[in-house]
Amino acid sequence: MKKRISIAAQILSVAMLFLLSFGCNPNAKKAKVIPGDDTLNSGTIHISVDESFAPIIDSQIKVFMSQNPKARIIPHYKPEADCLRDMLDDSTRMVIVTRGLMEDEIPFYKDTLGFVPVYGKVATDAIAVITHNKAKDSLFSVADIRAMLNGTSGYRYQLVMDGLKATSTVRFLIDSVLKGQPLNGKVMASSNSEGVIDYVASNPQAIGFIGVSWIGNREDPSQLSFQKRVRLAALQCARCEEEIFVRPYQANIALKRYPLNRGLYYILKENYAGLGKGFVNFLTHEKGQLIFRRGYLVPDRMALQVRKANVSE
């Protein structure tokens, strides 16, 4: 009997030592983000947002917090590359940018955080091309834009962007229009999207590139003032049999007729049901999707009806 007890005690001791050594293993992966004092509809979090989407995300946060008085979401608007760097900042709970995680980034975040952040698309945006109200040209093809960006165009416009690097607008134009080639045209940087509008409004020989959420909403008083100061250029339709030119209106974005479209994504660094998850739920469900629609983006999680009408572009 004593022998049986002794053997059982030895087995128990070995098991306890194994568990203790495993728990103290410095190489064991633990989730970096742990539950805080926030819930799905209360608490305070910081998020980093691509500056191109400041107007629409401001609207989303305003409505979300009005419906959840105990919640506070503090946005930090900055270039996209800076937002993605903030993924490693403990104080940043979530980023909103123009792409999700890449396949080669997933193992890195899993190793660094102990879990993989969740991400998803919530809407489709477009790069708007703006000109001075008195500019003689307002119709361009993608080939025209490409030639201006690489410096081979006969146009002599000064191109203005919300930065020469690190912004989603510049990345999109290099990746999707220049196909990876560098910017070689007459390109200058403004500090932000509003600065692009200000410069184009004051210079007849300037063409600007901004997110359509800065200028597409005809129900927003500030954007109405922008629309009076500059003109939306029309680009050659990407899916039309005839040679027609279209502006970045919702129907043209939804039907992919407008050629400079891009997605809007969230990346959530949260491994519990916190306020970040609550805000994602809001963005992806009816109320948040309606705000995207009213902001002249194309909502990704709800149907958008497109009806035929005789409207002059």
**Domain range enclosing 106:** 43-124+263-299
Return the CATH number at 143: 3.40.190.10
- Note the pLDDT tens digit of each residue in 246-282: 999 999 999 999 999 999 999 999 999 999 999 999 9
Looking at the fold, whether 135 and 249 belong to one and the same domain comes out as: yes
pLDDT over threshold 60, residue 218: yes
- Note the pLDDT tens digit of each residue in 102-112: 999 999 999 99
- Note the pLDDT tens digit of each residue in 91-139: 999 999 999 999 999 999 999 999 999 999 999 999 999 999 999 999 9
Looking at the fold, whether 206 and 238 belong to one and the same domain comes out as: yes
* Rounded CA Rg of the chain: 25
What mean pLDDT do residues 179-195 have?
Answer: 90
Looking at the fold, whether 245 and 284 belong to one and the same domain comes out as: no
Q: Is 242 within a domain?
A: yes
Looking at the fold, whether 62 and 146 belong to one and the same domain comes out as: no
**Whether 210 contacts 193, CB under 8 Å:** yes
Of the pLDDT bands very low, low, confident and very high (cuts 50, 70, 90), residue 160 is very high
Looking at the fold, whether 112 and 81 belong to one and the same domain comes out as: yes
Looking at the fold, whether 294 and 276 belong to one and the same domain comes out as: yes
- Note the pLDDT tens digit of each residue in 162-181: 987 789 999 999 999 999 99
Looking at the fold, whether 151 and 253 belong to one and the same domain comes out as: yes
Q: Is 105 within a domain?
A: yes
Distances (CA, A) of 28 to 65, 110, 138, 272, 294: 38, 12, 59, 20, 47
**Whether 206 contacts 226, CB under 8 Å:** no
Can you give the pTM of this predicted structure?
0.84
Q: Is 152 within a domain?
A: yes
Of the pLDDT bands very low, low, confident and very high (cuts 50, 70, 90), residue 5 is very low
Q: How far apart are the first and last CA of the chain?
A: 94
Looking at the fold, whether 189 and 283 belong to one and the same domain comes out as: no
Q: How many domains does the chain have?
A: 2
Distance of CA 303 to the CA centre of its chain: 21
| Residue-level pLDDT at 225 | 67
Looking at the fold, whether 208 and 237 belong to one and the same domain comes out as: yes
